[in-house]
Amino acid sequence: MKSSVTDLIDNTVDDPTQPQELILGGQDFTSITETVSDIVLERKTPRAWYIAFTFTAGLTGVLFLMIAWLFIKGVGVWGLNNPVGWGWAIVNFVFWVGIGHAGTLISAILFLLRQKWRTSINRFAEAMTIFAVICAGIFPGIHVGRVWVVYWLFPIPNYHHMWPNFRSPLLWDVFAVGTYATVSLLFWYMGMVPDLATLRDRAKGRIQQVVYGALALGWRGSHRHWHRYEKAYLLLAGLATPLVLSVHSVVSFDFATAQLPGWHTTIFPPYFVAGAVFSGFAMVGTLLIPARQWFGLKHIITVHHLENMNKIILATGSMVGFAYATEFFIAWYGGNPNESFAFVNRAFGPYAWAYWIMVTCNVVTPQLFWFKKVRTNIGIMWVMYIFVNIGMWFERFVITVSSLSRDFLPSSWAYYDPTMVDILTFLGSFGLFFTLVLLFIRFLPMVAMAEVKTVMPIADAHSGERRSVGDYHGDIPRHVREVPDGGGK
Amino acid sequence: MAHHHVPRLEDTKTTLDGLGPRLFAVSALIGVIGLAATFGLGLSQGDGLRHFGFSYLINFAFFLSISLGAMFFMPIMYVTRASWNVVMRRLAEVTAAVMPLLAVLAIPVIIFAGQIYGWADPAVAGSHAMSHKAAYLSKNMFILRWVIYFCIWTGYSWFFWKTSVKQDSSGDVGLTRRLENYSGFALMICALSVAAASFDLLMSINPLWFSTMFGVYYWAGGFVTFWAVMTLFTMGLQNTGRMRGIVTPEHFHDYGKAMFAFTFFWGYIAFSQYMLYWYANIPEETHWFLIRSQNGWGMTGMVIIFATFMLPFAGLISRYAKRSRKMLAFWAFWIIVAQWINLYWVVMPQFSDSFVFSPMDVTAFFGIGGLWLAGITKLAMGNSLVPTGDPRLEESLRFENA
């Protein structure tokens, strides 16, 4: 027995003559509001949430313990050696920054491209972006050695008249990631204002009313408010679009400006951006699939949405594969023996295991998304997302460690092994990430209610013949009417 | 408001009819005269047609890049299920389908390869730095690869064009599905073949230089030029009373957005390629930029920074500019010229260390461009200028840029 309307209706059918409905199950404006805001306001927090929160908060504790240990003992507690002076810290940094990119792509670029399906997933992706950037920001911060002067990264006047080295790509990172975090936060918050006002108006508790009321900035939904909101949204989308490219390009400069074989190649900026979007979508998917299941959002975040995400994963995964191939070709074509050695060493040297994990997870398995059966199978796609997450972490590991561990001077070669502190710090960062995600799910609207409503058929005053007409509250899309047993909520 | 008035195909002319043979004859004539003049000027140089070879290569690479841009455009629109572009898609289809003619036009590049490409020089080919790739960069392999590229590109672009034309009469939705199914694969083929071809066509002029970004760089330039050319094609046809009222400011606004976006993208790619080599400062990599930054080529490079990136970026940023017919035409024309200068700067410094410019460069532009346009006209003549059977045409006609 199929349990819900989304199991009965297949909105992934590709029919050029009739666009598929994005929101299923005979929803109207009220039901969307109720579905989303009740998770925050009405429904009792599931016990599973408390269990999960306890676990992730514990992991976050591990993260802070490890950081404290690092501060007490110094970076010697990590597995760094000579020549591998950059280990998991930079790998984790790049991994987490990359994760964030899906949010910005969905909220900014897909908005500019008028991709209506983004509305069901953009809030979640944007939130995830901010949490990922928080996790990312920790790693370079704790890696500087003398953490008590970490503020020297910023060009602020100080008593030593010390200025940061503006020629260093690591400093460019400070600005790139800082700008990115700021704009992402603004975009996320500003987009949430109408929904926060909805929560304010529906809240019954005094504390909730005051808190959501303050966050809603006096939103009353007047035409003037909407007018300014949409203008600001468009402008922020325009400003955030170059940031999708710039942040991971600057991160790639950390490697590509160096003269180290395997790092110094011109395709790095767009290749890193593609990889970032790739990993970000996989992480959004990893989180969305359980969330839509547990919180009854399957009719809002439908298989159609997930299929679209899988197509983007296929596209960006293939771009990453293209970059791998180009790098290999040019390493041979360029005729620099150090360069070709670096690539052969990656594939067949001591880190071959990591390299082939990377290739399998990033290039090979995503190709399964060519098949519609795979793209629309929830279980398989979730496993594929996990593969992509693994693959993209290994990509950064391969780039960073394989090039460093065997540099120009064979006498200084060394194999890099992480310590327990490295491993626990990384696991701890997942704890922080998931803790923030859980808090977000519990206290903020997971789906952009106001935006979802705009893509529903009933929002279209000029709905043409292909849309079923209905009155403002009772519109039932044709798909649902045609389901034999009524579909039933 | 467009709400109340959906444009109809019946209200305008959607075939070339009388214009076709005239446009074909004039552009073919310009092409033949242009090539003959280039050849004559080349002979008069007395350098064994070396300068001719370079002038020819620039313009061949330029028009090829536009058709490759069109080739990329078709599957990307199918794969994203986009509808707004349907009304102008036939123009892109014929621009891509002119591939067999470009294959013929590639023959002089192969004939004059000895004068153009460093690897064809026995002294270079025999050097230590070249020894490992001498077989790859040999004339036979070069020819073989070009045969493969053009087989792929012709098959690919004709498949899209022919299928779309077939749909004009049948209106079979299955054909759209068929193209959608092949589009993802087509894009992959496109990426690999264009990158490999750009290494052969332009990067290997100096066989010792290499850049992983080069394929993207060539493609990005071609794609932005493609949009500029589409703008001028559409406006030109409208000026003769064709496609009027069906390609509206709403569509032109999107042409403008595409030009704006890919102007930026091109700038991003060009900057990344230059900056990374400049920063690391490794002689094996910087020599390519070194000859391009002195003796007049540096000034050309400066012009490129402003002409291909900064000025069109500023010029196309506003909604007003994208919806104003005159301004959009101006920037489309500008981008075509600027991207041509960019290719000139990529190719010509390999001919001469100091800045040169010859009337040959311009006559070759009209020579190849004339024949290219004649070829496109010929392909466009038999059929409608609009894919009348496309299931998304209706949606495209009522498209609004919210």
Q: State yes or no: pLDDT of A482 exceeds 60.
A: no
Q: Assess contact for A342 and A402: CB atoms under 8 A.
A: yes
Q: Assess contact for B178 and B92: CB atoms under 8 A.
A: no
Minimal Cα–Cα distance from A283 to chain B, Å? 22
Hey, CA dihedral for B265, B189, A101, A416, is it positive or negative?
negative
Residue B236 token pair: 């030109």
Binding-face residues of A in 415-454 toward B, CB within 8 A: none
**pLDDT, position B246:** 93
Is the bond into A83 cis (omega within 30 degrees of 0)?
yes
Q: What is the mean pLDDT of chain A?
A: 88
- Does A269 lie at the interface with B, CB-CB under 8 angstroms? yes
**pLDDT, position B126:** 86
Minimal Cα–Cα distance from A63 to chain B, Å? 35
Please state, in angstroms and rounded to a whole number, the distance separating the CA atoms of residues A470 and A468.
7
Cβ-based contacts of B279 with chain A (< 8 Å): 257
Bridge partners for B242 per DSSP: B13
Cβ-based contacts of A325 with chain B (< 8 Å): 192
pLDDT digits (tens, 9 = 90+) for A423-445: 999 999 999 999 999 999 999 99
Under 8 Å CB-to-CB from B253, ≥6 apart: which residues?
B319, B322, B323, B401
**Separation of first and last alpha carbons in chain A:** 14
* pLDDT mean over A332-357: 94
Which residue in chain B has the smallest CA separation from A259?
B280
Half-sphere exposure (Cβ direction) of A227: Cα atoms closer than 13 Å: 3
Cβ-based contacts of B276 with chain A (< 8 Å): 253, 256-257, 264-266, 268
**pLDDT, position A286:** 95
A322–B276 CB contact, under 8 Å: no
* pLDDT mean over B19-25: 95
Percent of chain B with pLDDT over 90: 88
Minimal Cα–Cα distance from A428 to chain B, Å? 35
Binding-face residues of A in 296-325 toward B, CB within 8 A: 311, 314-315, 318-319, 322-323, 325
- Does A259 lie at the interface with B, CB-CB under 8 angstroms? yes
Confidence of residue A304 (pLDDT cuts 50, 70, 90): very high
- Does A16 lie at the interface with B, CB-CB under 8 angstroms? yes
Under 8 Å CB-to-CB from A379, ≥6 apart: which residues?
none
Confidence of residue A467 (pLDDT cuts 50, 70, 90): very low
B132–A335 CB contact, under 8 Å: yes
- B244 burial class (0-12, 13-18, 19+ CB within 10 angstroms)? middle
Q: Assess contact for B2 and B15: CB atoms under 8 A.
A: no
Interface test with B, best of A333, A341, A371, A460 (most B CBs within 10 A): A333
B279–A335 CB contact, under 8 Å: no
Please state, in angstroms and rounded to a whole number, the distance separating the CA atoms of residues A94 and A276.
9
Please state, in angstroms and rounded to a whole number, the distance separating the CA atoms of residues A120 and A110.
12
Please state, in angstroms and rounded to a whole number, the distance separating the CA atoms of residues A442 and B333.
55
Please state, in angstroms and rounded to a whole number, the distance separating the CA atoms of residues A5 and A71.
54
A333–B216 CB contact, under 8 Å: no
Residue B372, CA distances (Å) to A462, B99, B223, B224, B358 in order: 44, 9, 17, 18, 22
Confidence of residue A469 (pLDDT cuts 50, 70, 90): very low
pLDDT digits (tens, 9 = 90+) for A120-156: 999 999 999 999 999 999 999 898 888 888 888 888 8
* pLDDT mean over B31-47: 95
**pLDDT, position B168:** 93
Q: Which of B72, B357, B110 minimizes the C-alpha distance to B225?
A: B72
Residue A148, CA distances (Å) to A142, A152, A389 in order: 10, 9, 33
Query: Which own/partner pairs from B44-52 qualify as long-range (CB within 8 Å, at least 24 positions apart)?
Result: B45/B358, B45/B360, B48/B115, B49/B112, B49/B115, B50/B112, B50/B115, B50/B116, B50/B351, B51/B351, B51/B356, B51/B358, B51/B360, B52/B112, B52/B360, B52/B364
Please state, in angstroms and rounded to a whole number, the distance separating the CA atoms of residues A26 and B61.
55
Torsion-angle region of residue A331: left (phi > 0), alpha (psi -120 to 50) or beta?
A: alpha
Q: State yes or no: pLDDT of B1 exceeds 50.
A: no
**pLDDT, position A7:** 60
Confidence of residue A161 (pLDDT cuts 50, 70, 90): confident
pTM of the predicted model as reported, rounded to 2 decimal places? 0.93
* pLDDT mean over A375-381: 94
Residue A167, CA distances (Å) to A164, A337, B203 in order: 9, 28, 30
